[in-house]
Amino acid sequence: MKVSAVSENACLIQVGDHISESLTAVIAQLSENIEQTLGDALIDLIPSYTTLLCVYDLNKVDDLWMLKTLRQIVQSVDSTENNSVTSIDYLGKSLSRLIEIPVWYDPEVGYDLEVMASDKQMTQSELIQLHTSKEYRVFATGFMPGFAYMGSVDTALATPRQATPRKAVAAGSVGIADIQTSVYPAQSPGGWNIIGRSPTQLFDISRGDNAALLQVGDRVQFVSVDRATFIELGGQLG
Amino acid sequence: MANLHIIKAGWQSTVQDLGRQGYFRSGLSEGGALDEIAFRWANALLNNPANSACIEILMGDFEAEFEQATCIAITGADLNCTINGKSIENWQSLKVKAGDRIRFNSPITGLRAYLAIAGGWQTPIQFGSRSTVLREKLGGIDGEKLKIGQKLSYLVNPDTPLQKLDSQFIPKYTDELTLKVLPSYQYDLFSETAKRRFFTSEYSVSQRIDRMGYRLEGPEVMADNQQLISEGISLGAIQVPPDGQPIVLLKDRQTIGGYPKFGCVASLDCSLLSQQAPGNRVRFELSDVATVQIQRRLFEKRLQIFNYI
């Protein structure tokens, strides 16, 4: 792991080079240790696939103190990791939440479901089966409030982003881009391939500090529901 | 409590404070006053807490009427401000009476003026901040820029002591600006030629500037590797998309991104950049964290001493 100062009030920890679930577990562990050690000198953390950005208050500490402290934390986590890769994997898994997201997979709301299934020479139900057959991990959040980048989908489902993004993708749309999958928290332009729609509110201001449903490290299981259930759970058509 | 009645809303007038912190990991932008120097002085001139909300007025065409007497301060761009038709000077606090009409006309120097009021503008707090982020529909009034007919609440504080900022502390929004850069992120992915070109060339501010970032135009600087894994973006990050034209990312930037980055511009220089209009010239110079941190801490000290005396 490499720690460097990227700006006057932020340090970046490079945890690895390749996207993997075990990195996400290490990043979750690092985040916890950093929050405990830094206290109010920490402004925020931005975990992503292979990195953790630590934004700090430069009126409380300086870059040298930050680098030294972060390197100590990295070392302690590093040695835990080397001694027992499986234990940190286990830790990551037991600490992280499992969130179920209901999805109505249907061409009426999944604009690209038919084309994707025929391109991949599978039936729509085979495609749905593949998407719901495994748990995904939240690798990063961003793009818009509550948007979570999850992976990795079965390689048979991997599909490149659309060459021309749609002007408007409806809120709740469930999409695939390369090996990642996500749900649009709100209507937005977007280039992901849309296979269904969820009634779940991914970002809800009335939930206060928990407005964003998904956080980095969470595990997500998509569950196929029918049209009636989708509407009963508050799903919106159109 | 009294209200400010918006008569003309202007190009883009938004309520801003120091921004939204602690929610980056939920994907929320930082937001906040683009020119922190002007913003902090506006509040200091009224002895307001540092995070009190101001109105950030872009390029003027803004007019409003005060319902009751209080004290205000104006800093940042000179937008040819008048009260009841009479010119008033920037970088000072002053009293307004019930029925006074304030107008920000058009830019003489700089782009963004800050209108502070004793006690701060009383709009709702969302995720710890009053800052408006238009893309996220958060902050301000209903997450939008100010509109004709709206009312902004304020506390009535007509007896706030009046102050004026010494001219030595007032930034000059000159045409030529040199930005201090901390080399970081993918700096090593840029060739020596690209680095030399970047630090010796003149760039001009393009038409594509907003609260998310300032796109500059000039000699192309390309990184050797264009495909990166998205990572957290710090204020002032200099992002270089495949066209080789650098973008300095500001307060409303997205939280993560995957374009190669040269490093970060010092926060105080980001403030000065946000006052630059299209066509203005910008240069970059290599700096280091210690230098930039000391400058930032000196700025904080100056504000503290000002309010102490």
Q: Per-residue pLDDT tens for B146-201?
A: 999 999 999 999 999 999 999 999 999 987 899 999 999 999 999 999 999 999 99
CB atoms within 10 A of CB B166: 9
In SS3 terms, chain B reads as CEEEEEEEECCEEEEECCCCCCCHHHCCCCCCCCCHHHHHHHHHCCCCCCCCCEEEEECCCEEEEECCCEEEEEEEEECCEEECCEECCCCEEEEECCCCEEEECCCCEEEEEEEEECCCCCCCCECCECCCEHHHCECCECCECCCCCCEEEECCCCCCCCCECCHHHCCCCCCCEEEEEEECCCHHHECHHHHHHHHHCCEEEEEEECCCEEEEECCCCCECCCCCCCEECCCCEEECCCCCCCEEECCCCCCEECCCEEEEECHHHHHHHCCCCCCCEEEEEECCHHHHHHHHHHHHHHHHHHHHC
- Dist. CA A188–CA B279, nearest whole Å: 32
CATH architecture of the region B177-305? Beta Barrel (2.40)
Q: Encoding tokens for residue A207?
A: 């939930």
Which one of B26, B127, B254, B259 would you mutate to disrupt binding with A, by most A Cβ within 10 Å of its Cβ? B26
Q: Is A67 on the interface with B (CB under 8 A)?
A: no
The predicted-structure confidence for A154-207, as pLDDT tens digits, reads as follows: 999 999 988 888 989 999 999 999 999 999 999 998 899 999 999 999 999 999
Number of domains in chain A: 2
Q: Is A7 on the interface with B (CB under 8 A)?
A: yes
Whether residues A212 and B136 touch (CB distance < 8 A) is answered with no
Residues A48 and A118 in one domain: no
Residue A110 pLDDT > 80, yes or no? yes
CATH number reported for the structural domain that contains residue A172 in this entry = 2.40.100.10
The domain locations on chain B are 2-169, 177-305
Of B21, B27, B236, the CB nearest to A144: B27
Task: Label residues B245-261 b or e (16+ Cβ within 10 Å = b).
Answer: bbbbbbbbbbbbbebbb
Residues A104 and A86 in one domain: no
What is the nearest CA distance from B208 to chain A, expressed in angstroms? 19
What pLDDT band is residue B240 in, cutting at 50, 70 and 90?
very high
> What is the rounded average pLDDT of the residues A14-42?
92
What pLDDT band is residue B94 in, cutting at 50, 70 and 90?
very high
Residues A125 and A205 in one domain: yes
In a domain, A238, yes or no: no
- Asked if B2 and A117 touch (Cβ cutoff 8 Å), the reply is no
> Average pLDDT, whole number, for chain A?
92
Q: What confidence score (pLDDT) does residue A71 get? A: 97
Contact list, B255 vs chain A (CB under 8 Å): 46, 141-142
* Percent of chain B with pLDDT strictly greater than 90: 92
In a domain, A152, yes or no: yes
Nearest CA in chain B to A55: B234
Residues A228 and A113 in one domain: yes
Q: Which residue, of A94, A129, A161, is where some domain finishes?
A: A94
Of B28, B231, B289, the CB nearest to A5: B289
What pLDDT band is residue A89 in, cutting at 50, 70 and 90?
low
- Dist. CA B253–CA A184, nearest whole Å: 19
- Asked if B261 and B239 touch (Cβ cutoff 8 Å), the reply is yes
Q: Rounded to the nearest 5 degrees, what angle is found at the Cα of B255, between the Cα atoms of A8 and A73?
A: 55
Q: What confidence score (pLDDT) does residue B309 get? A: 64
> Average pLDDT, whole number, for chain B?
95
If you count residue pairs, one on A and one on B, with CB atoms under 8 Å apart, how many are there? Answer: 128
In a domain, A101, yes or no: yes
Nearest to B267 by CA among A55, A23, A130: A55
What is the nearest CA distance from B21 to chain A, expressed in angstroms? 7
Window 173-212 of A: residues touching B by CB (8 A cutoff) are: 203, 205, 209, 211-212
Of B25, B28, B267, the CB nearest to A215: B25
ipTM of the predicted assembly exceeds 0.90? yes
In a domain, A237, yes or no: no
Q: Is A143 on the interface with B (CB under 8 A)?
A: yes
Contact list, A45 vs chain B (CB under 8 Å): 24-25
CB atoms within 10 A of CB A155: 8
Residue B91 pLDDT > 80, yes or no? yes
Residues A206 and A149 in one domain: yes
In a domain, A217, yes or no: yes
Give the range of the structural domain holding residue A224, as residue numbers without chain letter.
97-232
Contact list, A177 vs chain B (CB under 8 Å): none
Residues A52 and A136 in one domain: no
Residues A159 and A224 in one domain: yes
Q: Which residue, of A43, A63, A94, is where some domain finishes?
A: A94
Q: Is A237 on the interface with B (CB under 8 A)?
A: no
Q: What confidence score (pLDDT) does residue A93 get? A: 55
Beta-carbon contacts of residue A83 (< 8 Å; ≥ 6 apart): none
- Asked if B64 and B97 touch (Cβ cutoff 8 Å), the reply is no
- Dist. CA B56–CA B79, nearest whole Å: 12
Contact list, A9 vs chain B (CB under 8 Å): 234-235, 267
Residues A131 and A156 in one domain: yes
- Dist. CA B34–CA A139, nearest whole Å: 30
> What is the rounded average pLDDT of the residues A54-82?
91
Contact list, A5 vs chain B (CB under 8 Å): 182, 184, 289
Nearest to B289 by CA among B236, B252, B246, B220: B236
CATH number reported for the structural domain that contains residue A49 in this entry = 3.30.1360.40
Residue B281 pLDDT > 80, yes or no? yes
Q: What confidence score (pLDDT) does residue A154 get? A: 95
Residues A203 and A106 in one domain: yes
Residues A62 and A169 in one domain: no
Give, rounded to a whole angstrom, the gap between the first and last alpha carbons of chain A: 47
Residues A65 and A122 in one domain: no
Q: Encoding tokens for residue B184?
A: 């970081």
Q: Which element (helix H / strand E) includes A226?
A: none
The predicted-structure confidence for B19-38, as pLDDT tens digits, reads as follows: 999 899 889 999 999 999 99
Of A44, A52, A212, the CB nearest to B22: A44
Residues A217 and A134 in one domain: yes
DSSP A161: P
Residue A213 pLDDT > 90, yes or no? yes
In a domain, A80, yes or no: yes
The predicted-structure confidence for A38-67, as pLDDT tens digits, reads as follows: 999 999 999 999 999 999 999 999 999 999
